[in-house]
Amino acid sequence: MIKHIVLWKLHDRDKADLIRQTLEALPARIPQIHRLEVGTGMPAGEFTADVALYSEFNSDADLKTYISHPAHQEAVAIIVPLVSERRVADYAV
């Protein structure tokens, strides 16, 4: 199992719901997603992420398919202009 976690800080926190909706639409379009969960951060200071993505994939190959999938690339095109900072963690369990 591969865990894929992404944390974003946004230029405008009001765009968090747009990102959440965009990401939550992906499992219907990308069958390699085993699990996907999106949360919007509660404002707590400069080190708090505005949006968090937690997702699981059955294999590294599935994660790579997800990353290159056209639906994911469409989401990236929406999200990137809204982001001021991004952190990613991928790990196997």
Tens digit of pLDDT for each residue in 13-52? 999 999 999 999 999 999 999 999 999 977 777 789 999 9
Q: What is the pTM of this model?
A: 0.93
Tell me how many domains the chain contains: 1
Range of the domain at 8: 2-92
For 27, the enclosing helix (H) or strand (E) is none
Domain of 47, CATH number, reads: 3.30.70.100
- Predicted local distance difference test score (pLDDT) of residue 41: 72
Task: Please tell me the predicted confidence (pLDDT) of residue 42.
Answer: 78
